[in-house]
Structure formats: C-alpha cells, structure tokens
C-alpha cells in the first residue's frame, strides 16, 4: 500500500499533458484579461508584448543582427498603443526620430560596424510585434461589438491552429513550405481555413448579426493570415537555427511561439470591417 502511494506521488505528467495544461493556462489568462476590461487588456499588451519583444531580441541575435533594446522596446511599445493611448503622438515624428537618432547613435555606440543591420532589425521587430497589438486594441475599443470582434478573431485563430494540426497529422499527405515547416500539409491548411470560417460564421452571423458573405470572407482572411504568421515565425527560427523562441511556457516554447499565428489576423480584420463600415468608433 505504501509503495503504491509513493509511486502515485512520483508520477510525472506526460509532455502532452504539460502542453495541454500550459495551453489552457495561457488561453485562460488571455481571455480573463479581455473580460477584465480595458485595464486588463492594456496589462495583457504590456506583458505579452514585452515578453515577445524580449524573445525577438534573442532571435535577432541568432539571425545575425541583434536588435538594440533601446530602440526595440520603446518603439514596440509606441506601435502597440499608437492607435489608442498614444494616438495623439504623431507617427511620422516617431519614425523620423527613430531614423535620425537611431542610425545616428550607431556612429558612436558599440557595435557600430553592424549598425544598419541592427537598426533595421530593431525597427522590424517593433513593427512585427507592436502593430498587431495596436489593431487588437482598435478592435477591442470599437463600438458596439469590440469585445466580440476581439474574442472571435482569437477564437478563429485557435480553431484554425487546432484543425490544421489535427487534420494535417491524421490525413495530411501533401506537404507545402517544406523548407520552412516540414510538417505543414495542404490538407491541414485547408482544414484550418474551414475551421476559421465556421467560427466567424458563428460569431459574425449569429452573434453580431452580419451577412454570411462577410463572415466567410473574414474567416478566410483570418485562416490564411494565421497560417502565414506561423510560417513567418518558423522561418525566423530556421534562420536562427533554434527550435523555440524561448522556454518560458512548458511544453510550448516561448510566448512568441504561441502568438505567431494571432499577430497578422487583427490587421486584416480591422481594415476589412473598416472598409465596409462594419465598425463604429
């Protein structure tokens, strides 16, 4: 009896269980932040955006040009809040300062031989991570369905990832982008887009009350851009010759590994719904 009890205490969770629990906690934290209101959303942006920028800085070093923290973090924060908290600050002014002061600094700071590459990596990283958060905030603060737009965009990406993984691993036979991500298949990609469309049909038609065609088109945009974001980050890791962006999340790698597929969709969703007058601000 004692031996059996001891064995139970010594049982270690499987890698799959760790992965599932980590994913559950991560998603729960994100959804809780969204439901806490604007303060919770701002806190999520600061936390997740800051960690993603930190991971990108490490990746950039392995890619050959380490993004300077003094440029990457402030510029990334500005881009993230440029449409809401910092909307009164002129974007052209900030970009001009980043150009003049950023490149000028490399005339004197250590590492000036790689100055242009490091400056470019800093600006690119700030845009890559900061701007998607900006569009999530623009969606969230939109009236009257900002919360719904934000949540269903995230849910559509989650459904896309899950369907692509499940179908691709079970019946996937035709690989694509093998040089970037060997496990990606055409069947999985199609399933991901279909799952995204289904979520948007539920969210946009049943909840928000928009037409089926808008829901289908937005679902396709989300499904395609989510998978593009996944491939873009996979390409970065290939160049950096690393498996994960970091080891912050047990069983999953880094924050950027979990955010990669949700970075591009809010940009396309925001511009689509703005173009057709589906958002009221």
Task: Give pLDDT tens digits along the chain (281 positions).
Answer: 555 555 545 556 666 566 667 777 877 888 888 888 899 999 999 999 999 999 999 999 999 999 999 999 999 999 999 999 999 999 999 999 999 999 999 888 776 668 889 999 999 999 999 999 999 999 999 988 889 999 999 999 999 998 998 898 888 788 888 888 888 899 999 999 999 999 999 998 888 888 999 999 999 999 999 999 999 999 999 999 998 888 887 766 889 988 999 999 999 999 999 998 887 64
Please state, in angstroms and rounded to a whole number, the distance separating the CA atoms of residues 90 and 82.
9
DSSP state, residue 204: I
Predicted local distance difference test score (pLDDT) of residue 32:
86
Backbone angles phi, psi at 249, to 5 degrees: -110, 115
Phi, psi angles (nearest 5°) of residue 142: -75, 150
Cβ(219)–Cβ(193) below 8 Å: yes
Q: What is the pTM of this model?
A: 0.90
Which residue is listed with tokens 């994913």? 23
DSSP state of 203: I
Question: What gap in Å lies between CA 34 and CA 91, rounded to an integer?
Answer: 26
Q: Which helix (H) or strand (E) holds 55?
A: helix 38-63
């Amino acid at each position: 009896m004692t031996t059996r009890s001891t064995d139970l205490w010594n049982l270690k969770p499987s890698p799959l269980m760790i992965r599932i629990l980590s994913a559950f906690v991560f998603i729960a934290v994100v959804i809780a932040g969204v439901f806490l209101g604007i303060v919770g959303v701002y806190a999520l942006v600061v936390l997740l955006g800051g960690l993603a920028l930190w991971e990108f800085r490490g990746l950039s070093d392995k890619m050959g040009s380490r993004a300077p923290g003094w440029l990457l973090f402030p510029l990334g924060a500005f881009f993230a809040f440029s449409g809401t908290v910092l909307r009164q600050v002129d974007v052209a002014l900030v970009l001009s300062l980043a150009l003049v002061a950023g490149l000028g600094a490399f005339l004197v700071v250590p590492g000036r031989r790689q100055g242009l590459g490091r400056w470019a990596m800093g600006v690119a990283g700030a845009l890559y991570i900061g701007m998607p958060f900006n569009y999530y905030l623009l969606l969230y603060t939109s009236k009257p369905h900002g919360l719904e737009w934000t949540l269903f965009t995230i849910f559509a990406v989650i459904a896309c990832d899950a369907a692509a993984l499940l179908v691709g691993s079970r019946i996937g036979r035709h690989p694509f982008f093998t040089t970037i991500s060997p496990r990606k298949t055409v069947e999985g990609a199609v399933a991901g887009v279909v799952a995204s469309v289904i979520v948007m049909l539920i969210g946009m038609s049943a909840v928000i009350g928009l037409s089926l065609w808008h829901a289908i088109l937005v679902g396709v945009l989300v499904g395609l851009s989510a998978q593009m974001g996944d491939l873009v980050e996979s390409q970065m890791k290939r160049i950096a010759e690393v498996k994960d962006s970091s080891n912050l999340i047990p069983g999953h790698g880094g924050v950027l590994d979990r955010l990669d597929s949700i970075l591009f969709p809010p940009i396309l969703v925001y511009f689509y719904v703005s173009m057709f007058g589906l958002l009221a601000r």
